[in-house]
Structure 1
Amino acid sequence: MAGRPTIADLAKEAGVSVATIDRVLNGRAKVREETARRVYEAAHKIGYHAAALIGQRMAADLPKIRFGFVLHKEKQAFFRDMREAAEAAVRAATGVQTSVEFAFASSQAPSDYAALIEELGERCDAVAAIAVAHLQVTDAVTRLEARGIPCFALLNDFAQGVRQSYVGLNNLKIGRVAAHMLATATRQHGDLAIFVGGHRWHGHELRETGFRSYMREFAPQFRTLDALVNLETRQLTYEATLNLLERHPNLRGIYCAGGGMEGAIAALQELRKPGEVSMVVHELTPESRSALAQRYLTMAVATPLDAVLTETVNLMIEAVQNGGNSLPGQQFLEPQLYLPESV
């Protein structure tokens, strides 16, 4: 196209009339969002000088939604990745003007999660959170919902019957997947250990239930030890794994149903050769990727963060615009399974 693109050039590229272009540019009459977006994309494509103005006109007419996210352990790689996925999902949202705010819980205390959820509820139109299952958290969600602020549970379900929806993995099923992998990979019969972050993490409890149900049904030759609470900390998991290896010389497998896997990996690297003890963990991090490559891990079950946060943001927009859901639900997404040969 020779010279500076004109309104006629833009109209031709967008497949609309010159009058429609004039309405988009000057806001003289309402233009459908789909049409305005087509004009905006065409303006960018041909280098029309008022493309930025068209974008501003579009944004001015869109409803504003403020998103709030409560996450856990700000310094952990997984939760940094989760924040980035949430930011990307909010940026990609169409049909609304968006802003997003994050808060991070520094402990597993229910009061901390409840306070952060309510704090974000004061400034946001919808809140999604990772939180423990506890009455204080349920009460906080109840107060938000009563004010018309929809709340969503991420990865770990809480406030069932009150929150809008749970978005994450099917944790009962994931526990059975982990059990199948350990039972299949372990060549000798013996003991199996489970680490959970705490008994208030509903998702960890479901993973343990699924794990044990599979073992009872298909691998009764293994003995599954009592679950160990590691508070999702590296050091506690490291010390507990050293103790397990000392007290249970026939330990054949470990399932880390939550965080803290780095400690178990370090203990195995000190005291066992690769593959002597099979281990399944959650999430693909630099540490778990390295351990898979070295054969200290049998499998890592990863959360599809992009899909989880995209689904959550879409549900948040729908709840804000439609006044919430009458029937709280669950949105299960498929996990990503990583083996030593797939990293």
Structure 2
Amino acid sequence: MGHRPTIRDLARAAGVGTATADRALHGRGNVSDRMRQRIAEAAERIGYRLPSDSAAPSAPLRRINLGFVLHKPSQSFYQRFATEIEAACAAHPAANITPHIEYSASQSPDDFCAAITRAAQNAHAVAATAINHPSLSRLMTELRAQGTPVYSLLNDFGGRAGAGYFGLDNMKVGRIAGWMMALRLQRPGRVGIFVGGTRWHGHSLRETGFRNSLHEYAPQIAIADTVVNLETRQVTYEATLDLLTRHNDLAGLYVAGGGMEGAIAALREVRPPNKVALIVNELTPESQNALADRYALMCVATPLKELCAALVDRMAQAPELEVSSPTLFEPSLLLPESF
């Protein structure tokens, strides 16, 4: 005669505590429908007989496939982004969501289009980081006509063709960076700006906000020509060294997109801490260490956990509910004393 499963066996099979399993089965406490379903499925799998008054749902949760496109899979920021996406999908209380995460092979329009097309296969909705380009707008229009909305992440590349934007107010981000730079530099000097490229409109908005804020609060500060760094460490590293060589009065740097690791490495090589005010975006081990060592003045970070939770919830409702206005989040402002 085989062993009759106990509630401990059920809890182990569902990957929860015994108390959680008991609450789920008898409707006590705050247990989500998703967790009740998970426990009910575990009970069926191991042959555990549910009590007649079980609060576990009789019908399975709705199954949804969601597609996501990121880039630069080797960078810690996008690795954390992927982790938060997966966590938000796993924690959704009203649907059983399977995320399919693709990475664009490069920042070219063709590679972004290819990645989005792959992510859209059998997907309820898609969300992506991508550049602004007509080919991407056409693709989004086609996918939307087929019933698969595409949401823009961090950079609003979709416009009217997209289903909605989730990210920061990039003009505001630039103004915050400019205000902090003006506050720090109370004397004449020069600052440099890095953007990923002309097709990242979010970077252009940050640059505009940064310049406007500096002109308003610190007109004595000169601004060097904007440098396109392709969001790469090496280009940023070499360009930072070049700026430091050509401008003896260089007092600040703003990296509006990726590639900040190169600026940090260059400053560590040729300048002492606090000599050049560096402002970067997104919290990574490199930016946190630079803040702690006083090589960075401020980091403006996207609240990824909050963004992913709101994004997944909205995507789970698509195409029944589509977004016409941006979903904006307040940036996290991190300083050397934040850690």
Q: Indicate the TM-score class for this superposition, using the shorter chain for normalisation.
A: 0.7 to 0.9
Residue in structure 1 matching 2:337, options 331, 335, 341: 341
* Matched residue, 1:100: 99
* Matched residue, 2:184: 185
1-side partners of 2:176 and 2:292: how far apart? 21
> SS at 1:328's partner residue?
coil
CA contact (8 A) 2:25 2:36 kept: no
CA contact (8 A) 1:244 1:251 kept: yes
- Alignment: residue pair count: 313
Cα deviations across residues 206-226 of structure 1 (Å, max 9, x unaligned)?
100111111122211111122
> SS at 2:161's partner residue?
coil
* Matched residue, 1:330: 326
Quick one: structure 1 residues 127 and 35, their matched pair in 2 at CA, closer, same or farther if it must change by over 3 Å?
A: closer
111-120 or 77-86, which deviates more:
111-120
Percent identity (aligned): 44
2-side partners of 1:260 and 1:65: how far apart? 35
Quick one: structure 1 residues 10 and 39, their matched pair in 2 at CA, closer, same or farther if it must change by over 3 Å?
A: farther
Gaps (5+ residues) in structure 1?
16-32
2-side partners of 1:237 and 1:199: how far apart? 16
2-side partners of 1:11 and 1:311: how far apart? 26
What is the TM-score when the length of structure 2 is the normalising length? 0.85
Matched AA of 1:335: P
Matched AA of 1:102: I
CA contact (8 A) 2:140 2:158 kept: yes
Residues 114-133 of structure 1: pairs in structure 2 closer than 5 A: 114-133=113-132
Quick one: structure 1 residues 170 and 36, their matched pair in 2 at CA, closer, same or farther if it must change by over 3 Å?
A: closer
Quick one: structure 1 residues 275 and 101, their matched pair in 2 at CA, closer, same or farther if it must change by over 3 Å?
A: same
* Matched residue, 1:80: 79
Cα shift at 1:200: 0.6
1-side partners of 2:125 and 2:185: how far apart? 45
2-side partners of 1:193 and 1:300: how far apart? 16
Matched AA of 1:339: L
Matched AA of 2:27: A
Cα deviations across residues 287-335 of structure 1 (Å, max 9, x unaligned)?
1111111111000111111011111101101223x1x42x621011011
Cα deviations across residues 80-132 of structure 1 (Å, max 9, x unaligned)?
00000000000011221211111101211011111111222122111000000
Matched, 1:224 2:220: no
* Matched residue, 2:235: 236
Matched, 1:196 2:192: no
* Matched residue, 2:13: none
* Matched residue, 2:299: 300
CA contact (8 A) 2:181 2:214 kept: no
